[in-house]
Amino acid sequence: MDLDRLNKRAKNLKKFLPEFVAVHGATPALSACQELAARLEGIPSYHAAQQRASSGPAPAKKVSSALGALECWIWEDIKGWRKPRAWQEPGSAVLSLSRRDSDMAEIEGMLDDHLEKSLPGPVSYLKEMSPKALQKLVKLSEKAREMEPGFLYATALQVGALTELNRAEEAAWLGAAQVALVDFQVLPPGFAGEISYLEASNRGYHRLNHHLVLALQACGRHEEAAAVAHKMVRFWPRDNLGFRLLVP
């Protein structure tokens, strides 16, 4: 049994379960449980998992040094999740990793454990971490990105930690470069839909943009920060991370 992967599933379940029970109750339908199981594996939906299974094992491919295994899926009411295919694609997008192996589970667990030990409470911010803890977070995030360049959660943590360590220029360069790759190479061209924060796999992208705004502001690049914030409000008007509060 792969204990690292099992532990990562348990942590994901701890995060997702309260919302799942609130929506589906104590006796959810099998279809709802199938959707939850797929997302615990990093797959956008159970339908997407069925599509992957029916197509057989994916051929081995070289991981891109820039984007890794990051993929974009679009929700279509009739057919479910599909790959994007149009200019100015509407609909709801999910950014997910096509790989979920034991190495990934281990490094995600290391990041989560470090945050739990270094932050004073569950609702805390990176600025509350000690410089030593921030430096360790930078190293762990770098290790995660080397393993999987498309792991946006790790990039977001690295950008945030660098900013708090007064290395805002470095943070802004890293964050802007990764966001540009996602916006222009992973998302459909001229994407006109939404990127929901409620989709767990999208949260790395939201957090990366959030830390990028803070890094740009720390560098005095306020117009660029405002452009990023307005883009994110357009992608997700419910604005769970408060981009509207960061800029005029």
DSSP secondary structure code for residue 52 in this structure: H
Instruction: Domain count for the chain, please give it.
Output: 1
Inter-axis angle of helices 168-181 and 203-218, nearest 10:
140
- 134 has a pLDDT exceeding 50: yes
Per-residue pLDDT of 51-108, as tens digits, reads: 555 554 443 333 345 778 899 998 877 667 788 877 777 789 999 888 766 667 777 8
CA separation for the pair 60, 54 (Å, rounded): 17
Residue (of 228, 174, 184) closest to 206 by Cα position: 228
Does 197 map to a domain?
Answer: yes
Residue (of 154, 136, 157, 134) closest to 144 by Cα position: 154
Does 195 map to a domain?
Answer: yes
- Per-residue confidence (pLDDT) for residue 39, from 0 to 100: 65
At residue 42, the 3 state secondary structure works out as coil
Does 77 map to a domain?
Answer: yes
Average pLDDT over every residue of 39-47: 62
DSSP secondary structure code for residue 58 in this structure: P
Does 43 map to a domain?
Answer: no
Sign of the CA dihedral 65, 68, 191, 82? Answer: positive
Does 5 map to a domain?
Answer: no
CATH number at residue 187: 1.25.40.10
Does 34 map to a domain?
Answer: no
- Per-residue confidence (pLDDT) for residue 98, from 0 to 100: 81
Does 55 map to a domain?
Answer: no
Domain assignment of residue 204, given as a range: 61-246
Residue type at position 128: E
Does 2 map to a domain?
Answer: no
User: Quick check: pTM over 0.85?
Assistant: no
